[in-house]
Structure 1
Amino acid sequence: MEAAGLMNHFPCLVIRGICDYSDSHKNKEWQGFAAMVAAAYAKDLLLQIAPTSVEAEKPIGEVLGSIQRDLKRVNRTTEETRAGVMIIQSHQIDHTHRLTHIQRDVQDIKLRKVEDLSIARNPHFVVPFPSDPDFVNRSDIWTWIQEQYAGPGSRFALVGMGGFGKSQMAIRFAHHLHATLPKTSVFWVHGSTKATFEESYRSIADVLALPRRRDPDVNVLALVRDWLEREDVSPWLMIIDNADDVKMLLSKDTNETYLSYLPKRENGKILITSRSWAAADELTGNVKMIFRVPTMEEAQALQLFQKKIGRDDNEAAVLRLIDTLDYVPLAINQAAAYIYKRSPRVTVESYLEEFHNSEKRKETLLHSNQGDIQRYEGVSHSVVVTWRVTFEQIKHEQPRAANLLSLMSFFQAQNIPEYMLHDYNSGNIDSEEANDKHGETSNVDFEDDLDVLRDYSLVTMTATPGLLEMHSLVQFCTKSRS
């Protein structure tokens, strides 16, 4: 291009070798080949121009031979250039192919990530149980749950014995929230063991389609927690069901406790159900955020039985039955299912007669395990087995408290005098250090063990100081396990 500018100053002829087809695609490595081609053609052109002097002219044969030799050199150079260009092009095609694949893979990853995060940001309802059509509202508990959910606290708990209806209230509230606030996510976590806790979190990660959830090097517990703590996530409620074991909650997975995997966010709430007051206290951090679930009121228990049985029975007999069952929802469900299945051969009156016939028959009836889609698969639905889980947990955590419970099971259920219980641990060889100089069990130990039983709602204090009481069914199940 620069040489062409000379044409404006003196007559000349420009011979060019071209290696670029636009200014945006230049390659200096090819300029040498272009120059060689231009030089070869320039020489050939000069040989074609006749000399001005006859003396300078060469024989035609010599000229043609020279031209042929030059053409061979040009051809050879051209072939070498073509071969070099083809090698360069082959390398470029290979690199371009690889870059195209890399770009496609990166784009796929980006698209998948965007898709996953889009799914995760949507509201989700992850509750394994349907709403119970026979649900009986317990207004005091229901009102408290709604107040805590609307209040400033982020965690609140229902505490009570197994079978008292804690999980049923939580299930009902979950479905109520989903119906009234569809943009709020609800997640259910089975918190009884490490395995069930982790499995619940994995299910949540799958529903949210969180990236890297199946990576073996990723901590799914932390992945779910960190996601729910993000500000761009929709409001959520997490229900931790059966969070009974304090030691499990405080045990470590890698370097963190299971308790630390519960998300903390202003826009998120956690409802806990537990048999243990100590566990609920550890989870909420505030005893004011704990509601102790009692047995049903008479009217509620009557309504529950009538809904489960599906017909009107002798009300007086039903009232005697629910009183015999201590107004415990699980026991009432169990009895109603037993009677309904065997009707008309079994009536409320005949069930009561069988129940009081013998201790062995009573245990058989309380052991009856009817199907219930409101409870976990593979878990017994009977009162005896449900409460024995609690007994065994107490025996494992505090053997002295288990001994105290066993002693109390032989008293009248109401008005058990405390002063008659202080020797409950005298047969234990490990209790010598706990004895004072008079040989009596330390009051401190007694209070600690009594607190354990109260934490599990097995024993309550009466209005009269020094007197305790417990459910007659609890007494019976305690004695039947020994």
Structure 2
Amino acid sequence: MNSVGVLQASGHSRVHIGNVYNEVVPVPERSETPPRPSFTIPFRRDDNFVERKTILDRIHRASSAPASRVALVGLGGVGKSQLAIEHAYRVRDRFRKQNKEIWAFWVHAGTRARVEEGFNAIADAAKIPGRNQPKADILQLVYQWLHNERNGQWLMVLDSADDVNVFYGTDEKVKQTATIGEGMRPLWTYLPQSSNGSILITTRDKELAFKLTGDHRNLIEVGPMDQDHALTLLVTKSGPQYNKDEGTKLVEELEYMPLAISQAAAYIVQRAPLRPIDPDKSYDYETSANNESYERNG
């Protein structure tokens, strides 16, 4: 006598009679209660953030337009990522003051694989139906979900979008990193422009920034800090370890770059208990700071 049974795995059912297996229609996904909007920025707010009000005001104004795309453009280390983080928290605060909620997503855009990883995280956070199907096109599912105004307001940060080939390329490297089911559709086509959302991009590539935003007026160039902001950052991060002249000389040597100043301050704080700063001795802060490992490069 033949045995009959049903196996269920990966959303599909298979009927077997003896040693014969036949594929049947996929098992419907269990319905999930749509979650409330969540704030998924993976970095804590910097309590010692130094106000660069002109830049933050420009980001706020440009991002307030429906379906906005804004790009922060500048060299590595000028503080683009920190500005994006602070902007995201301020957007959340403004919504909370109005008793409203907003989705906030962070997508590392250095490679196609990292972008896909970020979209997968969005799909999971929003519990997008269909995401667990074996051949789910996650990029398309997220694109459609973001386009649906019923899902609420959202902000997406595309951080470190420095390689034009990640979004527009079709070379062999991109082909090898594309996942099954997503084909070779360029990544830029999965970035929605809908009235319920905005995208903030950080990049070193001005040409890519223009291609992604489509408007030079939405490019905000971020340069080194001015001297006052640089000194404030140094004192805030390290404490009053020296007089103004010494601090001025140090931030000048570090070319007023926020990342370098933060690294130097971290070195000072770490070493200060064991090696009090001697104003008559020269310290190579820049070399020491460059040896530190940091996840974000500004």
TM-score calculated relative to the size of structure 2: 0.80
> How far has the Cα of 1:237 moved from its partner?
0.8
Partner-residue secondary structure (3-state), 2:149: coil
Residues 273-422 of structure 1: pairs in structure 2 closer than 5 A: 273-344=202-273, 345-347=275-277, 349=279, 353-355=282-284, 364-369=287-292, 375-376=295-296
- 1:241 is aligned to 159
- 1:251 is aligned to 169
> How far has the Cα of 1:343 moved from its partner?
0.7
Contact 1:318 1:348 in 2 (8 A): no
> For the residues of structure 2 that align with 1:300 and 1:217, how far apart are their CA atoms?
51
After TM superposition, where is structure 1 displaced by more than 3 Å over at least 4 residues in a row? 348-351
Letter of the 1:278 partner, please give it.
E
- 1:264 is aligned to 193
- 2:54 is aligned to 140
Matched residue count: 258
- 2:3 is aligned to none
Letter of the 1:227 partner, please give it.
W
> For the residues of structure 2 that align with 1:321 and 1:305, how far apart are their CA atoms?
9
> How far has the Cα of 1:339 moved from its partner?
1.2
> For the residues of structure 2 that align with 1:130 and 1:365, how far apart are their CA atoms?
25
Partner-residue secondary structure (3-state), 1:127: coil
Partner-residue secondary structure (3-state), 2:249: helix
- 2:104 is aligned to 186
In the alignment, is residue 204 of structure 1 matched against residue 122 of structure 2?
Answer: yes
- 2:83 is aligned to 169
Contact 1:156 1:289 in 2 (8 A): yes
> For the residues of structure 2 that align with 1:350 and 1:211, how far apart are their CA atoms?
65
> For the residues of structure 2 that align with 1:319 and 1:284, how far apart are their CA atoms?
37
> For the residues of structure 2 that align with 1:350 and 1:248, how far apart are their CA atoms?
50
Q: 1:346 to 1:251 in 2, by over 3 A?
A: farther
Letter of the 1:175 partner, please give it.
Y
Could you tell me which runs of 5 or more consecutive residues in structure 1 were left unpaired when the two chains were aligned.
Answer: 1-107, 356-360, 387-482
> How far has the Cα of 1:215 moved from its partner?
1.8
Contact 2:77 2:259 in 1 (8 A): yes
Deviation track 1:34-56 (CA, whole Å, cap 9, x = no partner) reads xxxxxxxxxxxxxxxxxxxxxxx
- 2:45 is aligned to 131
> For the residues of structure 2 that align with 1:185 and 1:203, how far apart are their CA atoms?
13
> For the residues of structure 2 that align with 1:336 and 1:195, how far apart are their CA atoms?
34
Contact 1:158 1:292 in 2 (8 A): yes
- 1:195 is aligned to 113
Structure with greater helix share of residues? 1
Q: 1:299 to 1:348 in 2, by over 3 A?
A: farther
> For the residues of structure 1 that align with 2:66 and 2:228, how far apart are their CA atoms?
33
> For the residues of structure 2 that align with 1:255 and 1:201, how far apart are their CA atoms?
16
Larger Rg: 1
Letter of the 2:128 partner, please give it.
L
Partner-residue secondary structure (3-state), 1:189: strand
> For the residues of structure 1 that align with 2:152 and 2:134, how far apart are their CA atoms?
28
> For the residues of structure 2 that align with 1:184 and 1:348, how far apart are their CA atoms?
50
> For the residues of structure 2 that align with 1:334 and 1:350, how far apart are their CA atoms?
22
> How far has the Cα of 1:135 moved from its partner?
0.2
Counterpart selection for 2:144 from 218, 226, 231: 226
Report % sequence identity: 37
Q: 1:348 to 1:285 in 2, by over 3 A?
A: farther
Q: CA RMSD in A?
A: 2.4
Letter of the 1:200 partner, please give it.
G
Partner-residue secondary structure (3-state), 1:256: coil
Partner-residue secondary structure (3-state), 1:162: coil
> For the residues of structure 2 that align with 1:349 and 1:279, how far apart are their CA atoms?
45
> For the residues of structure 1 that align with 2:37 and 2:66, how far apart are their CA atoms?
22
Contact 1:338 1:368 in 2 (8 A): no
Letter of the 2:116 partner, please give it.
E
Partner-residue secondary structure (3-state), 1:181: helix
Structure with greater strand share of residues? 2
Deviation track 1:203-241 (CA, whole Å, cap 9, x = no partner) reads 111111112212221111111111110121101111110
Contact 1:339 1:346 in 2 (8 A): no
Q: 1:317 to 1:260 in 2, by over 3 A?
A: same
Partner-residue secondary structure (3-state), 2:84: helix
Could you tell me which runs of 5 or more consecutive residues in structure 2 were left unpaired when the two chains were aligned.
Answer: 1-26, 171-177
Contact 2:105 2:156 in 1 (8 A): yes
> For the residues of structure 1 that align with 2:235 and 2:195, how far apart are their CA atoms?
42
> How far has the Cα of 1:247 moved from its partner?
1.2
Contact 1:156 1:272 in 2 (8 A): yes
> How far has the Cα of 1:365 moved from its partner?
2.3
Higher relative contact order (CA 8 A, sep 6+): 2
Contact 1:334 1:368 in 2 (8 A): no
- 1:97 is aligned to none
